[in-house]
Amino acid sequence: MTPLSLSFSVLSNPAVIGLDIGATLSDIRNTFKSLDSMIGHSYTGGPLFRIAAYELSELGILGAELAFNRNDCLDALYFQFEKVQYPSLLEYLRSTFTLISQRDSLQGNFIAIFSNGPIEITLDPQKPGNSCFLSYTSQAFKHARNDSLPCSSWIT
């Protein structure tokens, strides 16, 4: 499997490497040996971690950040990946999940938000340079994030 196709399989279904929403921190620590703790707490009261880049480089992923709830269950997952994958990932997400909304981005592509049951998936090409973001978030995380923003009425 090429790095690009391996990366695509992980981005389109993070559960293949044990990163599914609801997974426990202890399970993820058994899979990834180098979790770097980040300062602060997630919107749902749990710890924040970054997976060491060397554990993701073979997968063709540039970075991953994890947010857990107060029960140490994965609530949000953010991937950074090469922008060259944006078109095929967007096509896959469109054919697999329900499109909730989309809006133009400053980088020429658009931000697309999908639903997979209670999980919201956001494809965001706005990062300057050659990378994009893809996030998977639980409903609890989304609501807590929106409640913490001063002008949350416009956020979907």
Q: Domain with 75 in it: what CATH number?
A: 3.40.1000
- Specify the higher pLDDT residue, 148 or 66: 66
Residue 46 lies in a domain: yes
Domain count, the chain: 1
Residue 153 lies in a domain: no
- Cβ count within 10 A of residue 29: 13
Residue 151 lies in a domain: no
Percent of the chain with pLDDT over 70: 87
Q: Are strands 131-137 and 74-82 parallel, antiparallel or unpaired?
A: antiparallel
- In angstroms, rounded to a whole number, what is the distance separating the alpha carbons of residues 118 and 23? 15
Residue 100 lies in a domain: yes
Residue 97 lies in a domain: yes
pLDDT tens per residue, range 71-101: 999 999 999 988 888 888 899 899 999 999 9
The structure's pTM equals 0.86
- Helix crossing, 86-96 with 3-12: angle to 10°? 40
- Cβ count within 10 A of residue 61: 24
* C-beta of residue 132 within 8 angstroms of C-beta of residue 84: no
Nearest Cα to Cα of residue 101 among 156, 152, 146? 156
Is residue 138 very low, low, confident or very high in pLDDT (cuts 50, 70, 90)? very high
Q: Is the pLDDT of residue 156 over 50?
A: no
* C-beta of residue 53 within 8 angstroms of C-beta of residue 62: yes
pLDDT tens per residue, range 27-58: 999 999 889 988 888 999 999 999 988 888 87
CB-based burial label for 92 (10 Å; 0-12, 13-18, 19+): middle
Q: Are strands 45-51 and 35-41 parallel, antiparallel or unpaired?
A: antiparallel
Give me the pLDDT at residue 154, please. Answer: 37
Residue 6 lies in a domain: no
Residue 2 lies in a domain: no
Full residue range of the structural domain in which residue 36 is found: 11-144
Residue 74 lies in a domain: yes
Q: Is the pLDDT of residue 1 over 70?
A: no
